[in-house]
């Protein structure tokens, strides 16, 4: 899984990179067919925005979250992606 982190009006520090990598490592445990992840971290005045696009085998998932703290925004965004991945995984597996 390749994780690309981009910052808009924000310098992406090592601690932000480590936090994002740790959170996406948990997603890789749930579903191992994640091929590419593009994370964009943005600061707009008082709002911190985190958004990510996941390329799966057969689907492309997107999630974003706005918070006052960037780490909380990343956590909420990963939770949204986790729900989307489990829903996609249930759709693709045969229930018979």
Q: Which residue ranges make up each domain of the chain?
A: 2-92
- Cβ proximity of 61 and 85 under 8 Å: yes
Question: CA 62, 72, 42, 27: dihedral to nearest 10 degrees?
Answer: -30
- Assign a CATH topology to domain 2-92: Double Stranded RNA Binding Domain (3.30.160)
pLDDT at 33: 76
pLDDT at 96: 67
- pLDDT-derived band at 5 (thresholds 50, 70, 90) equals very high
Beta pairing partners, 7 = 41
- 66-72 contact pairs (CB < 8 A, 24+): 70/10, 70/16, 70/41, 70/43, 71/19
pLDDT in tens, 53-85: 998 877 899 999 999 999 999 999 999 999 998
Q: What is the DSSP letter of 1?
A: -
């Amino acid at each position: 899984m390749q994780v690309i982190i981009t910052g808009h009006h924000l310098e992406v520090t090592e601690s932000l990179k480590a936090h994002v990598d740790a959170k996406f490592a948990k997603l890789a445990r749930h579903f191992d067919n994640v091929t590419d992840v593009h994370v964009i971290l943005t600061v707009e005045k008082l709002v911190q925005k985190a958004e990510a696009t996941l390329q799966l085998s057969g689907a492309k998932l997107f999630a974003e979250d706005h918070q006052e703290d960037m780490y909380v925004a990343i956590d909420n965004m990963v939770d949204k992606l986790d729900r989307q991945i489990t829903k996609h995984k249930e759709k693709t597996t045969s229930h018979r």
